[in-house]
Amino acid sequence: MKRMFALLALVAISYAPSLAQGVTIEDVGIFSGSLQSDVQSYTEDTTIGAPEVPERILSNTFVNVLFNRGKLTLGFRFESYQNPLLGIDPRFGTTGAGTGIGIPFRFVNYVDDYFEVTAGNFYEQFGSGMVMRTYEERNLGFDNSIDGLRLRFMPVQGMKITGFIGRQRAFFELSEGIMRGADLNLDLKEISETFLPDDVYANFGASVVSRYQADQNPFLNLPENVLAWSTRANITVADVMLEGEYAYKINDPSATNGGTFNSGNALYVNASYASSGLGISAAMKRIDNMDFRSDRTATGFAQQVNFLPALTKQHTWRLITLYPYATQPTGEFGAQADVTYTIPKGSFLGEDETTISLNASVIHALDTTRTDAFHYDANFMWDDRIFFQDINIEIVRKFGKNFKITSSYINIKYDQDVIEGRAAINETKYGVLTADFAEVELWFKSGKGTALRTEFQWMGVSYQEGVERDAVNNGDWVMVLAEYSISPAWFFSLFSELNYNRTDPVKDPVTGEVTRVDAENIIYPSASVAYVKNALRVQVGYGRIRGGILCVGGICRPVPASNGLSLNVSYTF
Amino acid sequence: MKTFAFVLLSAVMVMAMSCDVIDNPIENPDVPIDTTTKVKQNVLLEDYTGHTCGNCPDAADVAHQLETLYGSDRVIIVAVHAGPFATPQPPTYPTDFRTTVGNELDNTFKISRAGNPNGLVNRVTRNGKFIQSKDNWAPAVTAELAKTPTMGLKLDHTWNATTKAIDVTVTADYIAGGTEDYYVVVWLTESGIISDQTDYRYDPSHIEDYDFEHVLRASLNGTWGEQLSTTPVAAGQKITKQMSYTFPSGSTWNPSKCDLVAFVHRYGTEKNVVQVIKKKLAE
């Protein structure tokens, strides 16, 4: 029980960076917190499609303050958007008082041995999150915390019951729908050590989440109470782990599912094996109409209640991030396999370790047929159409303590029409593009506390015959990066992307036929300097940043191109 | 502790029962027929759109459906083309539907940054939302139409087909008292323009002969209009404003497809539209 209490206490305080920091006031408690401020200037740049920003300068600021004494934790977050940075939803600047300033997150939390109470805002996740996951990803302008009451009850060790009721944050307002939910989680090993053999662990869980939103539509009979449920299991036997979750949602016609009255469901299965030096995992996921929001009219990132993880590797190399995959909540069938092997020291490859990672994934469309204006039939198996495919290999090789090489090759197929939502259903407009990506990263320690890291990236892109291409981001790319750090205080970074082999469309005035002609190369330079002193970090930079899609943790949003200076300050106390 | 668990488990069971499975999605709207001649509250539905926005024609259809249901004299649509989706993209989307007024509105209300299609319904905040997505238009319009009007509007005008000059007189009839933030605006819109539009409901989604309706062409008196009175106005009073406008030289606007839209809004404060009316420019 003590262990569980410690765990829960950890969850309760995880809103703040750490309780190790903070200001202790004798006989009162501990205050701690953090500050993050991002300021960016914008210059219109028609070559890259950077729009004119009337404000010239935009900024986002977040300040967390937390107070803890024993079992009690209080906290709030101050947010200021003057106005929201481009790519962040502008409603952070227009809702509520309309000033972009407010305290949209505040809570009181009390944790005891057998129960926990939270009043105010909280983040919660049931299972893998397929019916319920609330979290903050401020760099994407995403925060779907619930404001209300949450109770947790731990009657015996290994058993946890959670229930909540409240409304979801909607920028500086609360969402129209009322959310209620409950979850049961059982850890058999914790309930009884003797119940399972020594190297067997088993977790089971079940959740229900429901939304109430009044039907005020004069044309349609809309469901006012929409229920979603899920059930899950996670079993580990020695080095092998098997986990699965199934979720179901009753009819929920919404802005994001084309108003269908079909029910929704999702299935996720993952098997993995891990031993020293070798890791293997294979997973499949089928999603049909599982976009769940606290407001049926919400689109984009607004008011998402659940989280459908992308079953593809999230690449971080800058060039390939131009084509990230985002889960299609209306329907997809995906599979992924991943193998990581570390060739130990002293093998035929010499004195140092070499790690090889192989990863492949493919996401297909669901095989569906419309039956009437409000319904469709979906087969369990997939359709031939591929939304996304990725085959990649990464090799990391160390040479002593002072030199490391990381090299990768990635090949993706990317259906721009579906992933970027740029065409009619089943229309081939931008088509499926193929990108071949290769990189070499060299890291070496050049002296005491100094290190140089360089990256060389290339990406070649090929298109289907006769399709349209993005007006700016088309053609091939190279990129060079150099980062020099003098720890613990200084970081210097320089990089430049070059977009070449670009083309522009030209329409023949007589025949109306569209052909493509060569267009100018575009260079995207960036530079930044960061200074760190204890918990303070200040970074200034300049960048001509290409437009594209920014993804964090499997959710993505379009970000327009920009050209300007940036200032980022962060501090924790 | 047992009570606690019992309460939680009961909550789960209650929730499991609270779900509405719908067998018949279509509802026949019940529109009360009001034949009285008294002043009614009309609705200004600003549809922020763009010709490369593939989901926008669907929203335009929702607006049209509401206009048909409640009457074009009561639901007054204005299509504001602004933002990245409205930028001309030659050679396939060459027409520039943007206007100075539309750009200023879009920059002020930050609509295209929030995404298109999106709209404003009488510029009111409803359930915490000022920007209304298309699925909110029906409930928001229905709620606005049901309100008791606080003002009547009358629009008289003359149109000179030779000089393409318009003279407009707007009379605001204060049914309830008003404040000094009441501003009157007169817009010119045009329908029946045929040009290129993306429409994701069709394959191919490039529609070459899309019919653009209610396109905002110009304002007769600036983006925010002019103040009706510098002091509060008592109920029962009438205030008249006059304005003139001439089509830009070389304009291809078809006067017989143009409408004048006059509305009073609360500038710089509550933002909401107090009353709106529409009149054909020329027969």
- As for the ipTM of the complex, it is 0.79
Q: What is the mean pLDDT of residues A265-279?
A: 95
**Cis before A83 (ω within 30):** yes
A150 touching chain B per CB within 8 A: no
A228 within a domain of the structure (yes/no): yes
* CA-based torsion, B192, B194, B196, B200: positive or negative: positive
Q: What is the mean pLDDT of residues A154-166?
A: 95
A158 within a domain of the structure (yes/no): yes
The model's pLDDT over A428-467, given as tens digits with 9 standing for 90+, comes to 999 999 999 999 999 999 888 999 999 999 999 999 998 9
Of A90, A221, A254, the CB nearest to B24: A221
The model's pLDDT over A511-545, given as tens digits with 9 standing for 90+, comes to 878 889 999 999 999 999 999 999 999 999 999 99
Half-sphere exposure of A152 (CA within 13 A, CB side): 27
A217 vs A422: CA distance, rounded Å? 28
* pLDDT confidence bin for A1, thresholds 50/70/90: very low
A205 vs A262: CA distance, rounded Å? 26
Q: What angle do CA B173, B179, B183 make, to 5 degrees?
A: 70
Q: Do residue A219 and residue B65 have CB atoms under 8 angstroms apart?
A: yes
In which domain, by residue range, is A228 found?
112-266+286-307
Q: By CA distance, what is A176's nearest residue in B?
A: B127
A120 within a domain of the structure (yes/no): yes
A297 touching chain B per CB within 8 A: yes
Q: Do residue B8 and residue A163 have CB atoms under 8 angstroms apart?
A: yes
* pLDDT confidence bin for A570, thresholds 50/70/90: very high
Buried b (16+ CB within 10 A) or exposed e, A182-221: bbbbbbbbbeeeeebeeeebbbebbbbbbbbbeebbbbbb
CA distance A572 to chain B (A): 32
Max CA pair span of chain B: 86
Candidates A209, A222, A25, A249; CA nearest to A124 is A209
Runs of H (alpha helix) within B24-133: 56-70, 100-109, 111-114
Q: Do residue A170 and residue B129 have CB atoms under 8 angstroms apart?
A: yes
Residues of B in contact with A86 (CB under 8 A): 113
Q: By CA distance, what is B203's nearest residue in A?
A: A427
* pLDDT confidence bin for B33, thresholds 50/70/90: low
What local confidence, expressed as pLDDT, does residue B1 receive?
Answer: 53
Q: By CA distance, what is B12's nearest residue in A?
A: A182
Total structural domains in chain A?
1
What local confidence, expressed as pLDDT, does residue A555 receive?
Answer: 57
Residues of B in contact with A228 (CB under 8 A): none
A345 within a domain of the structure (yes/no): no
A254 touching chain B per CB within 8 A: yes
Of B20, B89, B109, the CB nearest to A225: B20
Residue A17 has pLDDT above 50, yes or no: no
3-state secondary structure of B238: strand
Task: Tell me which of A499-513, A523-537, B177-191, B217-231 is least confident.
Answer: A499-513
Contact yes or no for A473/A459 (Cβ under 8 A): no
Q: What is the mean pLDDT of residues A110-133?
A: 96
Contact yes or no for A49/A471 (Cβ under 8 A): yes
Q: Which of B20, B93, B144, B206 to mutate to test the interface with A (most CBs of A within 10 A)?
A: B20
Residues of B in contact with A221 (CB under 8 A): 22, 24-27
Q: Which of residues 152-191 of B touch A (CB under 8 A)?
A: none
B207 vs B57: CA distance, rounded Å? 10
The model's pLDDT over B48-83, given as tens digits with 9 standing for 90+, comes to 999 999 889 999 999 999 999 999 999 999 999 998
Residue B26 has pLDDT above 90, yes or no: no
Which residue carries 């609705």 as its tokens? B43
B210 vs B54: CA distance, rounded Å? 12
Residues of B in contact with A52 (CB under 8 A): none
Contact yes or no for A228/A306 (Cβ under 8 A): yes
Q: Which of B43, B95, B113, B118 to mutate to test the interface with A (most CBs of A within 10 A)?
A: B113
For residue B203, give every residue at least 6 positions away whose Cβ sits within 8 Å of its Cβ, in sequence order, or none.
A423, A424, A425, A426, A427
Residues of A in contact with B65 (CB under 8 A): 219
The model's pLDDT over A195-213, given as tens digits with 9 standing for 90+, comes to 889 899 999 999 999 999 9
A570 within a domain of the structure (yes/no): no
What local confidence, expressed as pLDDT, does residue B7 receive?
Answer: 62
A558 vs A556: CA distance, rounded Å? 7
A216 within a domain of the structure (yes/no): yes
Of A51, A170, A221, the CB nearest to B22: A221
**Residue A513 backbone dihedrals phi, psi, to 5 degrees:** -75, 140
For residue A129, give every residue at least 6 positions away whose Cβ sits within 8 Å of its Cβ, in sequence order, or none.
A306, A307, A308, A309
Q: Do residue B16 and residue A229 have CB atoms under 8 angstroms apart?
A: yes
B135 touching chain A per CB within 8 A: yes
* pLDDT confidence bin for A348, thresholds 50/70/90: confident
Strands B75-81 and B43-49: parallel
Query: At residue A312, what is the residue type?
Result: T
A146 vs A166: CA distance, rounded Å? 6
Q: How many CB atoms lie within 10 A of CB A511?
A: 8
Helix axes B56-70, B134-145, angle to 10 degrees: 20
Residue B35 has pLDDT above 80, yes or no: no
A119 within a domain of the structure (yes/no): yes
Of A94, A227, A427, the CB nearest to B204: A427
CA distance A176 to chain B (A): 6
Q: By CA distance, what is A87's nearest residue in B?
A: B113
3-state secondary structure of B186: strand
Across chain A, mean pLDDT equals: 91
A225 vs A239: CA distance, rounded Å? 43
Q: By CA distance, what is B70's nearest residue in A?
A: A218
Which residue carries 């985002």 as its tokens? A326
Q: Do residue A90 and residue B136 have CB atoms under 8 angstroms apart?
A: no
A410 vs A312: CA distance, rounded Å? 12
Q: Which of A207, A299, A426, A516 to mutate to test the interface with B (most CBs of B within 10 A)?
A: A299
**Residue B110 backbone dihedrals phi, psi, to 5 degrees:** 55, 40
A403 within a domain of the structure (yes/no): no
**In this structure, what token pair is assigned to residue B165?**
């000059």
Q: How many CB atoms lie within 10 A of CB A352?
A: 17
